[in-house]
Chains A and B, each alone.
Chain A
Amino acid sequence: METPLFLRKKKLFFVFTSAAKPVWTRYGSETDLSTFIGSLAAILYKFQNYYTGIQDSLRYLRTADMYVVFLCTEALFYVCISKGKDSLESLYNQLRMLHTKVISTLTDNITTMLISRPSYDARNLMGGTHSALDYLIRTTAVSPSMLDAFMPVPMLAQHRSQIQLSFKSHLDDDLLYGFIMTSTSIIYRYCRKGENIHHIDTSLLFNMLASHSSLRSTMSWTPICLPNFSDKGFVYAYITFLQDSQVGLALLSDNSAAFKNLKACGDAIETEIRGLLPIIEESVKSIPYSVSICGIKEFKHFIYMTKAVDQYTMSGFTPSTRDFLPEMPIDIYKRTLRRYFAAYKLSNIPEFFKGNYTKIDTYKNEQIVALRTNEYVLFASLSSMLPAAAVVQLTTQLLRWLKSQEQDFFIMR
């Protein structure tokens, strides 16, 4: 039997309803795929049926050369077929992000709708989102998604607080969240007092800005659902780019009539940060930065995350753009990331994690260190030749240095 063209791709994603009606597919047209999706659904049904009464569903199938991973939500099914080396965890994370993106586009009302009308054809509602979903898949494939954090660009704390000041002096009651970002990086994030902003919501807004180039050419007022704020409806984003620059300002409100207020607020902030433009642009160009900035030559790569601000920073590679330095070619990065995932995995099990977790894995060409406490996570790659005592000592040294740089690496409160 001949293999359809789309099946020869390395990594496939499908979204369909519980009635097996296609909603989105990464490759091929939903129409051509409707029989294939029917078969996928039939496999899921068969398992659901077999285990009737047990709150469980098929999670994955493994063959000699591929994973078929399933994520079943109440009304929508997500499937990934991967012939690559990605770990199961990272494929799950991608499916979860895909679901979040669908909810971000349609709000959770789609679930209610599909439960009451299973035959509903939701495909039309996803029109115009293909590039954003594809972008999401490409970036999540190389993100350290186990960290539950996002990566801002490094910037001297004094400069970042100047931006903060310009926000603080022009606050509006309608302003819920505010961002200074480019299509490749997040520079500053504001959050209304008493509210929180989830890193996934941050990523969703960033995904929208990065994948819709039309948002960059003009001033926009656009709805977006941020599921961790509320999956019941939309918040509204006022998005504008500073003249002749890559730097954009996004102001969000939970009030759909706040356009005027936010625009006034945006204009004022824009005027103030205009003077900082060269500094902002400089910091955007500073990533990816070399691992050598830590001053410890034994390290090949590191990722550092602090829980207090749900942000991480890494050397040599930028997930949002897939840009890399010669010291960290993408294939090597992907392999290292897989090894980080593997080293981190056990820390999710309570027996292994009691506030402190350290794992050192030795491979032929590198040693992987994974450290996790209630405050931070550190991953690092070192030469495989080093004795364990040296690894511990160097890691402590790196950690000390990273802590001293937190103010510049992250957007502090």
Chain B
Amino acid sequence: MASGRKHLLKVIILGDSAVGKTSLMNQYVNKRFTQQYKATIGADFLTKEVMIDDKLVTLQIWDTAGQERFQSLGVAFYRGADCCVMVYDITSSKSFDNISSWKDEFLSQSNPKNPENFPFVVLGNKLDKESERKVPNARASQWCRDNGNMPFFETSAKDAINVDEAFQTIARNALSQVKEEEEYKPTINLNGGKKDKGQKKACC
């Protein structure tokens, strides 16, 4: 047994199809990029360990499919997420416009304890295609400020720009959600008045 608490954080990546969710994750975890586009079917999973201050944190990254036909999985996939990363493509206005519906969808489906403080991170990807940019940096920054000061990065999965930085922030924000000493206090004393016979559960 390693000493100290181990942390595993569930990170969900959302966004329209073909904005580069899988590429970002691959660049971050495997340091690889491919031009080839392969649609994600349902969801992909990758794990990465990072150090946040002196804590070793395992990120369990859920890369979801952007296509609408896979979105029925929502509720279950989002359950118990510690951080939600929303990705758009800086060369597609529509993908940026959809960010707010992704946010609403996530909040309504995952139903987190305090939605105002739930850690979101917004990533504008494909910074390498600056010449085709449709979404000005200022517009996206403004939106993030208006939506509870979400951290915002413009990234390039292809050129590995800002990818590590973005995920470092993601991990840090997700970790901040996990309260320092998570209180787990099972009842200590059963005796005290007559105990209720716990109805036969668990077995059979």
Q: Which residues of A contact B (CB under 8 A)?
A: 17-22, 30-32, 34-36, 38-39, 41-42, 44-46, 48-49, 96, 99-100, 103, 106-110, 113, 117-121, 123-125, 127-128, 198, 200, 223, 225, 227-235, 253-256
User: Contacts A107-B186, A127-B1 known; A39 to B79 CB distance under 8 Å?
Assistant: no
Binds A, one of B99-107, B155-163, B196-204: B196-204
Instruction: Name the distance in Å between A204's Cβ and chain B's nearest Cβ.
Output: 11
**Residue B10 contacts which of A19, A39, A232, A234 (CB distance < 8 angstroms)?**
A19
Judge if B73 is at the interface, Cβ distance under 8 Å. yes
Instruction: Name the distance in Å between A223's Cβ and chain B's nearest Cβ.
Output: 8
B80 to chain A: closest residue by CB: A19
Q: Could you tell me the distance between the alpha carbons of A253 and B190 in the complex, rounded to whole angstroms?
A: 9
Q: Could you tell me the distance between the alpha carbons of A106 and B186 in the complex, rounded to whole angstroms?
A: 7
**Residue B190 contacts which of A31, A200, A227, A234 (CB distance < 8 angstroms)?**
A234
Judge if B47 is at the interface, Cβ distance under 8 Å. yes
Q: Could you tell me the distance between the alpha carbons of A231 and B200 in the complex, rounded to whole angstroms?
A: 9
User: Contacts A31-B49, A232-B190, A234-B187 known; A49 to B203 CB distance under 8 Å?
Assistant: no
Q: Could you tell me the distance between the alpha carbons of A99 and B73 in the complex, rounded to whole angstroms?
A: 27
Once the chains bind, are B60 and A123 in contact (CB under 8 Å)? no
Between-chain CB contacts (< 8 Å), 12 pairs? A19-B10, A19-B79, A49-B75, A109-B184, A118-B79, A119-B80, A119-B82, A123-B8, A124-B5, A228-B202, A231-B198, A256-B191
User: Contacts A34-B8, A106-B186 known; A121 to B200 CB distance under 8 Å?
Assistant: no
A42 to chain B: closest residue by CB: B43
Interface contacts beyond A35-B45, A254-B191: sample of 11 additional A-B pairs, CB < 8 Å, sorted by A: A17-B80, A19-B10, A19-B81, A20-B10, A30-B8, A49-B73, A106-B186, A119-B80, A128-B1, A227-B202, A255-B191
Q: Could you tell me the distance between the alpha carbons of A127 and B81 in the complex, rounded to whole angstroms?
A: 23
Once the chains bind, are A109 and B186 in contact (CB under 8 Å)? yes
B-side interface mostly:
loop
Once the chains bind, are B188 and A256 in contact (CB under 8 Å)? yes
User: Contacts A45-B76, A127-B1, A230-B198 known; A20 to B60 CB distance under 8 Å?
Assistant: yes
Instruction: Name the distance in Å between B128's Cβ and chain A's nearest Cβ.
Output: 28
Once the chains bind, are A31 and B6 in contact (CB under 8 Å)? yes
Judge if B77 is at the interface, Cβ distance under 8 Å. yes
* CB-defined contacts of A113 to chain B, threshold 8 Å: 184
* CB-defined contacts of B182 to chain A, threshold 8 Å: 120-121
**Residue A233 contacts which of B49, B80, B189 (CB distance < 8 angstroms)?**
B189
B56 to chain A: closest residue by CB: A31
Interface residues of B in 1-47 (CB under 8 A from A): 1, 5-8, 10, 42-43, 45-47
Q: How large is the interface on B (under 10, 10 to 19, 20 to 34, 35 or more residues)?
A: 35 or more
A256 to chain B: closest residue by CB: B189
Judge if B139 is at the interface, Cβ distance under 8 Å. no
* CB-defined contacts of A234 to chain B, threshold 8 Å: 186-188, 190
* CB-defined contacts of B131 to chain A, threshold 8 Å: none
Once the chains bind, are B47 and A45 in contact (CB under 8 Å)? no
A35 to chain B: closest residue by CB: B45
Judge if B51 is at the interface, Cβ distance under 8 Å. no
Instruction: Name the distance in Å between B111's Cβ and chain A's nearest Cβ.
Output: 9
B77 to chain A: closest residue by CB: A45
B75 to chain A: closest residue by CB: A49
Interface residues of B in 44-58 (CB under 8 A from A): 45-47, 49, 58
Once the chains bind, are A21 and B80 in contact (CB under 8 Å)? yes
B199 to chain A: closest residue by CB: A231
Once the chains bind, are B76 and A254 in contact (CB under 8 Å)? no
Instruction: Name the distance in Å between B69's Cβ and chain A's nearest Cβ.
Output: 13
Instruction: Name the distance in Å between A413's Cβ and chain B's nearest Cβ.
Output: 20
Instruction: Name the distance in Å between A60's Cβ and chain B's nearest Cβ.
Output: 17
Q: Could you tell me the distance between the alpha carbons of A291 and B47 in the complex, rounded to whole angstroms?
A: 53
Once the chains bind, are A18 and B186 in contact (CB under 8 Å)? no
Q: Could you tell me the distance between the alpha carbons of A88 and B196 in the complex, rounded to whole angstroms?
A: 34
User: Contacts A38-B43, A38-B45, A234-B188 known; A96 to B203 CB distance under 8 Å?
Assistant: yes
